[in-house]
């Protein structure tokens, strides 16, 4: 194909540029979402971590948890901000896998301890990334960063109803109905021991989800660990108009597959959903296993359910439609 026609008449130049516009891949305007799970190409028990990349190149790491092998994980690349929905070990990262594919999908080997610093803080520190959280969590992270020689100012607050820009992405937090205590192991020292002995946790405010508005207009809801909330209707759908939902479906600790499907079908009504936090080996060879919670969720959901297969990047347009990689 000839790309330049210096002596062509005006109409031909116009036709050429129209053709080129139509033929250009839309990827430059899409949001790229890459799951970082414990096992390549699968959705496994502890998988929560996602990298969400704005068309402008801004990269956010959501709930690094236990399936990122620390700051050296080659899958991370540049990270501009680390998001932490709440302080439980499987989200902030009390320990993590030593390498990808260690252990079984249903029982990953997460033997590397990252308490009391947390995997999220270790990654943010090494990457020079911000940590953007709500509630009373920013002071906890600021203290960790300072104790490790980092900049406490890199821990930034965004509470319910407010917003903060990181690159071209507007970030807000939304309520999650769950719990959010910090266990002694993440505090360390005498206070940590005393809390553990008493069976208590430290207060860091309510747990959160996030709503992210990307520079191409795509609005994404990250549920965090939550039950059914009124705000999924009143705030996430009616105010922000989320088009893509990342929904935790694992049951017992959060909404199960049927409750999660109700949130998607009746409260938020997005264009598509990514199942997350299944707390099971949900796939084999990248295909959903029949009879799993993930399978139940897919069948109950009225919109397309995309599986966050580790390492497989999915591209979403501004309307929440997966245009590549799903």
Which residues in this chain contact Zn ion in the complex, by CB under 5 A? 90, 225
Sheet strands (E) in 176-284: 208-213, 219-222, 244-248, 272-276, 283-284
Asked if the peptide bond before residue 116 counts as cis, ω within 30 degrees of 0, the response is yes
* H or E segment to which residue 174 belongs: strand 169-175
Residue 118 to residue 144: CA distance in whole angstroms? 9
Smallest gap, in angstroms, from Cβ of residue 140 to Zn ion? Answer: 18
**Complex with Zn ion: residue 225 or 251, whichever CB lies closer:** 225
Instruction: Specify the pairing of strand 130-133 against strand 81-83.
Output: parallel
CB 116 within 8 A of CB 241: no
Shorter beta-carbon distance to Zn ion: residue 225 or 280: 225
- C-alpha to C-alpha distance for 93 and 83, rounded to whole angstroms: 12
CB of 277 to Zn ion, least distance (A): 6
Residue with tokens 């008449």: 9
Nearer to Zn ion, 80 or 280 (CB): 280
Q: How far is CA 167 from the centre of its chain?
A: 17
User: CB 195 → Zn ion: shortest distance, Å?
Assistant: 20
| Beta partners for residue 51, in sequence order | 34, 61
Considering beta carbons, is residue 90 or 315 the nearer one to Zn ion?
A: 90
Least separation in angstroms between CB 48 and Zn ion:
7
- Continuous segment of H or E residues that includes residue 323: strand 322-324
Burial track 294-306 (b if 16+ CB lie within 10 A, e otherwise) = bbbbbebbebebb
Q: 87: which 2 tokens?
A: 């302080």
Q: Pick the closest to residue 232 from 197, 191, 273 (CA basis).
A: 273
């Amino acid at each position: 194909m000839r790309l330049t026609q210096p002596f062509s008449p005006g109409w031909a130049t116009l036709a050429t540029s129209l053709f080129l516009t139509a033929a250009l891949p839309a990827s430059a305007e899409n949001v790229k979402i890459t799951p970082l799970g414990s096992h390549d190409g699968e959705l496994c028990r502890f998988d929560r971590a996602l990298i969400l990349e704005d068309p402008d190149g801004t990269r956010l790491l959501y709930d690094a948890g236990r399936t990122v092998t620390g700051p050296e994980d080659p899958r991370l690349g540049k990270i501009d901000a680390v998001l932490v929905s709440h302080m439980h070990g499987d989200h902030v990262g009390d320990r993590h896998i030593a390498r990808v594919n260690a252990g079984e999908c249903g029982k990953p080997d997460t033997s590397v301890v990252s308490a009391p610093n947390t995997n999220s803080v270790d990654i943010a520190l090494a990457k020079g990334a911000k940590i953007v959280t709500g509630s009373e969590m920013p002071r906890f992270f600021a203290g960790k960063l300072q104790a490790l020689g980092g900049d406490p100012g890199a821990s930034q607050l965004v509470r319910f109803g407010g917003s903060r820009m990181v690159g071209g992405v507007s970030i807000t937090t939304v309520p999650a109905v769950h719990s959010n205590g910090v266990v002694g192991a993440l505090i360390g020292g005498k206070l940590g021991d005393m809390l553990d002995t008493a069976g208590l946790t430290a207060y860091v405010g309510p747990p959160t989800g996030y709503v992210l508005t990307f520079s191409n207009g795509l609005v994404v809801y990250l549920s965090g660990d939550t039950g059914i909330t009124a705000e999924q209707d009143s705030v996430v759908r009616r105010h922000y108009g989320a088009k893509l939902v990342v929904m935790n479906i694992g049951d017992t600790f959060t909404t199960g597959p049927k409750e999660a499907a109700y949130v998607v079908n009746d409260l938020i009504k997005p264009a598509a959903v990514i199942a997350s936090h299944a707390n099971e080996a949900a796939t084999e060879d990248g295909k959903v296993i029949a009879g799993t919670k993930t399978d139940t969720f897919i069948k109950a959901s009225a919109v397309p359910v995309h599986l966050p297969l580790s390492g497989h990047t999915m591209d979403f347009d501004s309307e929440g439609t997966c245009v590549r990689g799903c």
